[in-house]
Structure 1
Amino acid sequence: MKRTLTGIACFFILGYYSQAQSVYSFQGLGSLNHQGMPNNIAMGEVGIGSPTLWHINTQNPANLVYNTFSTFQVGLEVDHRNFEGEDLSGSGTDGGLRFLGYAFPIMPGKWSSSFGILPYSSVSYNTFSEGEIPGTNGDVSQISDNKGEGGLTNFFWAHGLKIKKKLLVGVRATYTFGSIEKTSTISVGGVDVPLSNVSYRELESYSDLNFLFGLGYAHKLSDDVMLNFGATFSPKSPMNGQSELSLNRLSNSGRELENIDIGTENIRFDLPSTIGFGMSYEKLNQYKLGFDIESHQWSSAGSDLEEYNNSFKFALGFEWVPDYDNVNSYFKRAKYFAGFNYQKLPYIVNNQALIDFGINFGASLPVSGYSSLDLAFKWGQLGESTNGLIKETYFKVVLGATVNDRWFIKRKYD
């Protein structure tokens, strides 16, 4: 138990610094993270209509009914990105805690619950620009150094119930919290103009509660073939917070000379209403083919300071087990995943919508009993290198562990 708690603490420490670096994370709440587990990520980020016995479904709470074992999941993510634009290029790598969750049956096969944490958004960027101040005939120049870090985290508690033989319902309550710090340092100087450095800092902190509702339906085509359906809905949710503003005058070496506290104000950011639908065709212990469609109404959400597009996502994935009952071949008993996803993001840059495309694959390797070591990989591309935009080509690696066991059951025999 002590080793387990120490390991969990280490994951939390690492997770605190988990930020996926992206030049586009300066907008809104930052880069929005997929709210799924490694098996979902590996399967193209499919999960709304794709239930599983062995992993926690964080995309549709109704599918928690399938968790008849006590399931503990934890994992890390590493994100490497290459940036390419007009006359610029670069790269960056970040990583940390990706997920931590626990699910358990209250009435096995009828009612299950889960709780855990997932990163909702991440902010990590550092942009630099240099140019002449208009009207000075090139005698005065300005250098801007913009940095941002932080993000929001979701702590969720969900329940899934079977209300009829084939119909499932679920609800997830999520407490979203975190802070985002943005700093802009401007240096102005030139001919007969002494160098002046000013830093503007804004710290936004948010915390509030939001809900997700889910439905699930399983239609049995034969003894080992299932057709699964799922749907989710989340209403528009206001998220309240505070913004702290300050202005710093700096020396040429970067030392703070004067700090001016501009003040604190209450702010609000509306999370969008969302609708999702998923379906999967499954032959038990052999293969599964599924897809998800999601729509997020960002045009009526966000803040009054920025304009957003409605976002849309399509995901398609495949799961395959070569030979589930083969006791002689380890890799034939493993699960293999592949898929892709296409997403129109809510953020607008240079009057253009951002498109994110990814190809996913991975595996779930059996360890002991019903537990597994889970691997997921994603190659993706965000934005483009023309029209004043920056193209981000990234590769994500997710390493997770799943422990399935029958906990909290009183032994009948010693």
Structure 2
Amino acid sequence: MIRNILLVFILITSSALTAQRTSSSPYSFFGIGDEFSPVTVEQSAMGGIGVAFNHYKYLNFTNPAAYANLRYTTYSFGLLNNKLSVENDGVKQSSNSTSLSYFALAFPIGKKAGMSFGLQPVSSVGYSLSNSILDDEENILERTRFTGEGGVSRIYTSFGIKVYKELSLGVELDYKFGSIDNSILNERLGVPLATKYKEATTVRGGSVTLGAQYKKALKNKLIISGGATLKMGNDLEVTGDDYLYSLTLTNSGGEFGRDTISQSEISGNYKLPLKAILGAGVGKDDQWYVGLEYEQQEAIEATGFLATSNNAYKYGESNRISLGGFYIPKINSISNYWERVTYRAGVRLEKTGLLVDGATPYTNFTQVDDFGISFGLGLPLKQLSSVNMGFEFGQRGTTANNLIKENYFNFRLSLSLTDTNWFQKRKID
């Protein structure tokens, strides 16, 4: 029954996940948009850790080697609600968006291996910005509007196998795809026609991630673990067309195109260098766990596309450090449900690698940093299934150098359904 329900669900959500708008951040203006960390709701509630962590029923989007320890078939999908408040030069605005964040299936292969596949968003573009030039009497002389929509998603498959009693290795293959539209509309007082520049692009490319995990049980039932992943460098191919044309605007905001001034093809690359993640943790099975994780990547290179913004931003080295864990008071408690609940918490400090200059002549770039505090609950259901909730408060960016500071609250929800009947031989009486 569960399999039939999930089959219908994946057919419905696979198209919705690739078409949805999942970001309203002004920082989605840059590159391929606002990029998401590939973590489950359970991982995000622990500050995003996962490279050294594995579990017999939970998915792990950080390290494919973790699937070597999977013992049950698990379906999981996640939802994200983002409340965002942006501030610039004393002006504040807020927005709210809800979206699907992933759908995935994982299952064991024998007693020493496991596999997973699924669909996730990689980035999202969803901004609308306006800049006006006023005269001495505060009348608008010129107005420029910047808008963008679209995003990139990925399909993936991961495989992990235990090559030694305490060592597991894994590999993940993924394919990224999507479309992004960016436009700049310019209106001037006394000019009957407006001018619009539009870029319509498609993004395609694949990547390979290698992972390893080490897990050792000590005499006092304490378990230490370590993990590492290497996401190999890859290029995302960006192709499309750009247009420059005149148009007439109606009072209701409608657009009627007039004359095409120019049109050309876009051919570029979004080059992602090698990304490394290292981590370690300590804990006791189904009791508690604490992990520390570090991520590092060299500067991204973007060439041949998005010429409208290349001068205003660039990329530098990015890194992230996360600390988090969970606690279960008594997993087999019969009298008290809340003793079986998993309590999670974490903290994350990230240097995104995006550097932006908020004023010409684009010589003074400011690093965009991200800081978040998270916590969450894992509410057990029947047959090892669970509902997982995550709450995250964070801040990204700064108002210095004419930039934008974001304060956000993320609420994440996932349903993890565990099926113990897959790959088991049925007995006939």
Question: Normalising by structure 1, what TM-score?
Answer: 0.93
Partners in 2 of 1:194 and 1:349 — Cα distance? Answer: 32
Q: Give the Å deviation of 1:195.
A: 3.3
Number of aligned residue pairs: give it: 407
Provide Cα deviations, 1:213-238, integer angstroms capped at 9, x if missing partner: 00100122225211010001112111
Partners in 1 of 2:98 and 2:186 — Cα distance? Answer: 30
Partner residue of 2:348 out of 341, 345, 354 = 341
Partners in 2 of 1:274 and 1:205 — Cα distance? Answer: 24
1:202 aligns with 2:216: no
> 1:179 is matched with which residue?
179
Q: Give the Å deviation of 1:295.
A: 0.2
Contact between 1:130 and 1:141, CA under 8 Å: does it hold in 2?
Answer: yes
Contact between 1:248 and 1:256, CA under 8 Å: does it hold in 2?
Answer: no
Partners in 2 of 1:23 and 1:398 — Cα distance? Answer: 21
Partners in 2 of 1:413 and 1:335 — Cα distance? Answer: 38
1:5 maps to amino acid: L
Instruction: For residue 298 of structure 1, give the secondary structure of its aligned residue in structure 2.
Output: coil
The runs of 5 or more residues in structure 1 that have no matched partner are: none
Contact between 1:33 and 1:119, CA under 8 Å: does it hold in 2?
Answer: yes
Partners in 2 of 1:330 and 1:256 — Cα distance? Answer: 61
Contact between 1:204 and 1:244, CA under 8 Å: does it hold in 2?
Answer: yes
1:273 maps to amino acid: L
Provide Cα deviations, 1:304-339, integer angstroms capped at 9, x if missing partner: 656311101000002000111211111110101000
> 2:43 is matched with which residue?
40
Alignment of 1:59-70 (within 5 A): 59-70=62-73
Alignment of 1:267-306 (within 5 A): 267-298=268-299, 301-303=301-303, 305=310
Closer, same or farther: CA 335–197 of 1 in aligned 2, 3 Å: same
Instruction: For residue 39 of structure 1, give the secondary structure of its aligned residue in structure 2.
Output: helix
Instruction: For residue 54 of structure 1, give the secondary structure of its aligned residue in structure 2.
Output: coil
Q: Give the Å deviation of 1:77.
A: 0.7
The root-mean-square deviation of aligned C-alpha atoms, in Å, is 2.1
Partner residue of 1:222 out of 210, 219, 222 = 219
Q: Give the Å deviation of 1:79.
A: 0.6
More displaced, 314-323 or 138-147?
138-147
Closer, same or farther: CA 212–249 of 1 in aligned 2, 3 Å: same
Contact between 1:126 and 1:145, CA under 8 Å: does it hold in 2?
Answer: yes
> 1:123 is matched with which residue?
125
Instruction: For residue 65 of structure 2, give the secondary structure of its aligned residue in structure 1.
Output: helix
What percent identity do the matched residue pairs reach? 27
Instruction: For residue 339 of structure 2, give the secondary structure of its aligned residue in structure 1.
Output: coil
> 1:27 is matched with which residue?
30
More displaced, 262-271 or 280-289?
262-271
Partner residue of 1:370 out of 384, 388, 391 = 384
Instruction: For residue 219 of structure 1, give the secondary structure of its aligned residue in structure 2.
Output: strand
1:49 maps to amino acid: A
> 2:362 is matched with which residue?
none
2:183 maps to amino acid: T
1:244 aligns with 2:241: yes
> 1:320 is matched with which residue?
327
Closer, same or farther: CA 170–96 of 1 in aligned 2, 3 Å: same
2:95 maps to amino acid: G
Instruction: For residue 408 of structure 1, give the secondary structure of its aligned residue in structure 2.
Output: coil
Closer, same or farther: CA 408–219 of 1 in aligned 2, 3 Å: closer
Alignment of 1:146-165 (within 5 A): 146-165=146-165
Q: Which aligned runs of 4 or more in structure 1 are off by greater than 4 angstroms?
A: 136-140
Partners in 2 of 1:199 and 1:18 — Cα distance? Answer: 23
The runs of 5 or more residues in structure 2 that have no matched partner are: 305-309, 358-364
